[in-house]
Structures are given as structure tokens and as C-alpha cells.
């Protein structure tokens, strides 16, 4: 599934309401038309407290798009979330988590779907609570939940809500700075009892930018204006590359990979040259990409979501069709693991 080229492409960050480090976002904004965050209403006025300089800088230039969870996670999204989670819970794939002594994290009721379909959301909560993976709300706004289950829900929403973006004439492109967490989720759900049979394939691509921690956000945005076309084309080429490979046989992949990777290497080299010229630093920010190949008829929505978007948004035909999925994974030094 590919995005309409005329739609603004927003980096849809997950699995938290906001990023952890501003220098990561400074690199991220070079690749996209803006950054989108899924935020419950009670947290929207707190975003500036998390990262004042970056949030204000992005807002000043119209590059920060806050998606209200109470509006976005409507009835249809809640039904999709409930369908996938119910299969996962019943499969027993999450049961081992109940033995952990891990402290629970809060997930807003809005992101579990209470504003979309309260009855269904309450059913999901009940199943999780029964298995010791969630507890009753303590503040009326959020639900204490096992952190891995919370991350799974937010990862699924990053894919489900792409249709919400399309209905509003923007393309929400899932991105994360937590590739190891997503890999852990995929590994946890790859148990024989889990309802997923998706083949997830990860591409470690190129290092294309520098550590922009000490660079003021206004300077980064000026560089972005001057070089936006190059970064946009690189990002789209990466997506096309992964999408096309996901539809090939193993033999076809082996033949196509070297030639197509060489094209991306050349583009990445040019981006590194420009960034080093601007800031005279070694490159350290890498773009990776996870894709998947699955069969639509298998109903493998979970495999699709963990690898990227795709059949989770619905296909026109129930026939068996090989579909490509994707999600962007950005790495910058070891502290982004």
C-alpha cells in the first residue's frame, strides 16, 4: 500500500505521546512534512513541558500536528483494535507477562477506545484485568497497564489510525525511535499460539544525518527548507524499495537487492555530504525500515501492524493478495535502543 503523493506526509510517532530526545526529532523533521502525535486531551497542554524548545519551534512553523485521541480512536478504530487484541489475548501470547514484576504504565482510556465504543473498550480492559495485565483506573482518565501491553496497543494504533489521517487529507507514516521495543513485541507474539504468521523483514539502511543535539531548531529548519526535496526523495525511495521487495520471492529478492540498495547508497552519500558541509560533523543518524509480506486472506492483521500498515486498513477484495507493509525505524547512537 502506498501513500498518495500529493498528500502531506507526517511522521506519526509511536509508541508514546511524545519523543524522549529533541535531537532525534531534529533529524526526523528533515524527512517529513511534519510530525504527528496521538495525545489524550488531558495531556495536550503539557507537551511544551516535555521539550519546550522543540515543541515551540515546530508549532511556530506549523510542523507539529496533535491528534486528539478522543476523536481519532472512534468506533471503527476501536473495533479494529478490539478484533486484533482479542485474538492476541485469547491465544495466550501475553500470559507470561503477568508473571513479571514490572511496574505498570498509564494508558489513557481514550486510546483504549472508550470514546469510540465504550462497551467494547470495557470488554478489552476486562480481559486484560482478568489476566493481571491491567488494573482499575485510579484517576478516571487512564488505566494502569503492563508496559509491553501498553506499547502493543499504541503500536497497533499507529497503523490503524492511518485511515483517520487519509480521511483528513494527510498521510500518517508510522515512525519510532524504539526499534528494539518493536522487535521485542514481534518476538513475543511470534509464539506458535499467537495468531500471526506475517513474515517480518527488516532492512538496515544508511546513516544519513548527523547528531543535531547542539544545533538550534531554527537552524535545522533552515537546512530543511534548503534540502527538503533530497530528503523527501530518499525517504520515498526507501519505502518503494521495501514495498517492492516485500512482494518478491526469495530468489527475486536476492537478484534485486544489490542494485536497488546501490541506488539508495548513492542518495544517502549525497545527504551525508550536505549535512557534513553544513555542520562539519560525522554522520550518526541512521534510517532503517521494517517491511512485511503476508497474505490478505490469512487475516494476519497483527503481523501487518507490527511490520507497518497495510491490510489493517482494509482491502477491496478478500482474495489472497501479497501485500507490502512498512514502518520507519530511526536509530541515533546506542541511547535510542
Residue 70 CB neighbour total at 10 angstroms: 18
241 domain-assigned: yes
Cell, residue 171 = 498521510
Q: Does the residue 227 lie in any domain? A: yes
What are the phi and psi torsion angles at 62 (to 5°)? 70, 30
- Rounded to whole angstroms, how far apart are CA atoms 315 and 304? 13
Tens-level pLDDT at each residue, the chain (337 residues): 444 456 888 999 988 899 887 878 888 898 889 999 999 999 998 888 888 989 999 999 999 999 999 999 999 999 989 988 888 898 888 888 988 878 999 999 999 999 999 999 999 999 999 999 999 999 999 999 999 999 999 988 988 898 899 999 998 888 888 777 777 777 777 655 554 444 444 555 677 877 787 888 999 999 999 998 998 888 888 777 766 766 677 777 777 777 777 888 888 889 889 988 898 887 777 766 665 443 333 344 455 555 543 222 222 222 322 333 455 666 554 333 3
Pairing of strands 199-210, 283-295: antiparallel
156 falls within a domain? no
Helix segments in 65-207, DSSP class H? 69-72, 75-91, 118-130, 147-160, 162-166, 179-188
The partner residues of 105 in beta bridges, in order of sequence, read 145
* Domains of the chain: total: 1
What residues does 332 pair with on adjacent strands?
285
The length of the chain in residues reads: 337
Instruction: Judge whether 22 lies within some domain.
Output: yes
Which three cell numbers, joined as nine digits, stand for 333?
Answer: 547512537
- pLDDT confidence of residue 213: 79
DSSP secondary structure letter of residue 189: T
Place of cell 507490502: 324
- What confidence score (pLDDT) does residue 156 get? 86
Domain that holds residue 199: 9-70+163-336
Q: What confidence score (pLDDT) does residue 234 get?
A: 85
Task: Give residue 199's pLDDT.
Answer: 46
Question: What is the H or E stretch that residue 66 is in?
Answer: strand 64-68
Please give the DSSP secondary-structure letter assigned to residue 226: H
Burial class of residue 140, CB neighbours in 10 A (0-12, 13-18, 19+): exposed
In the prediction, which pLDDT does 21 show? 78
The pLDDT score that the predictor gives to residue 294 is 38
- Other CB atoms within 10 A of residue 286 CB: 20
- Look at residue 277 and tell me if it is in a domain: yes
**Directed axis angle between helix 147-160 and helix 179-188, to 10°?**
100
pTM, full prediction: 0.82
- Flag whether 151 is in a domain: no
Q: How far apart are CA 314 and CA 291, in angstroms?
A: 18
Helix axes 250-279, 217-246, angle to 10 degrees: 170
Q: Is residue 145 part of a domain?
A: no
Place of cell 512485511: 292
Written as nine digits, the cell of 138 is: 485510579
Beta bridge partners, 324, equal: 293
Residue 148 domain-assigned (yes or no): no
Amino acid at each position: 500500500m502506498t501513500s498518495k503523493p500529493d498528500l502531506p506526509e507526517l511522521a506519526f510517532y509511536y509508541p508514546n505521546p511524545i519523543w524522549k530526545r529533541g535531537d532525534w526529532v531534529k533529524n526526523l523533521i528533515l524527512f517529513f512534512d511534519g510530525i504527528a502525535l496521538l495525545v489524550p486531551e488531558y495531556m495536550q497542554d503539557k507537551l511544551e513541558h516535555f521539550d519546550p524548545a522543540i515543541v515551540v519551534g515546530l508549532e511556530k512553523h506549523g510542523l507539529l500536528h496533535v491528534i486528539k485521541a478522543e476523536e481519532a480512536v472512534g468506533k471503527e478504530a476501536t473495533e479494529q483494535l478490539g478484533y486484533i487484541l482479542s485474538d492476541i489475548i485469547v491465544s495466550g501470547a501475553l500470559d507470561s507477562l503477568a508473571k513479571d514484576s514490572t511496574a505498570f504504565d498509564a494508558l489513557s482510556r481514550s486510546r483504549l477506545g472508550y470514546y469510540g465504543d465504550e462497551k467494547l473498550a470495557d470488554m478489552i480492559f476486562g480481559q486484560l484485568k482478568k489476566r493481571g495485565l491491567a488494573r482499575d483506573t485510579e484517576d478516571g482518565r487512564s488505566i494502569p497497564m503492563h508496559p509491553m501491553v501498553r506499547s502493543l496497543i499504541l503500536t497497533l494504533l499507529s497503523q490503524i489510525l492511518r485511515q483517520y489521517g487519509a480521511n483528513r487529507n494527510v498521510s500518517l507514516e508510522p515512525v519510532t525511535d524504539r526499534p528494539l521495543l518493536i522487535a521485542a513485541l514481534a518476538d513475543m507474539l511470534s509464539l506458535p499460539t499467537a495468531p500471526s504468521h506475517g513474515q517480518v523483514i527488516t532492512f538496515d539502511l544508511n546513516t544519513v544525518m548527523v547528531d543535531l543535539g547542539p544545533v538550534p531548531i531554527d537552524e535545522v529548519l533552515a537546512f530543511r527548507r534548503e534540502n527538503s526535496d533530497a530528503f523527501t526523495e530518499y525517504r520515498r525511495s526507501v519505502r518503494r524499495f521495501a514495498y517492492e521487495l516485500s512482494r518478491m520471492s526469495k530468489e527475486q529478492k536476492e537478484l534485486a537487492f544489490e542494485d536497488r540498495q546501490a541506488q539508495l547508497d548513492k542518495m544517502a552519500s549525497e545527504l551525508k555530504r550536505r549535512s557534513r558541509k553544513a555542520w562539519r560533523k560525522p554522520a550518526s543518524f541512521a534510517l532503517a525500515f521494517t517491511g512485511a509480506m503476508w497474505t490478505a486472506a490469512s487475516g494476519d492483521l497483527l503481523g501487518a501492524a507490527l511490520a507497518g500498515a497495510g491490510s489493517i486498513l482494509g482491502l477491496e477484495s478478500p482474495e489472497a493478495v501479497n501485500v507490502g507493509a512498512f514502518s520507519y525505524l530511526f536509530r541515533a547512537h546506542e541511547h535510542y535502543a
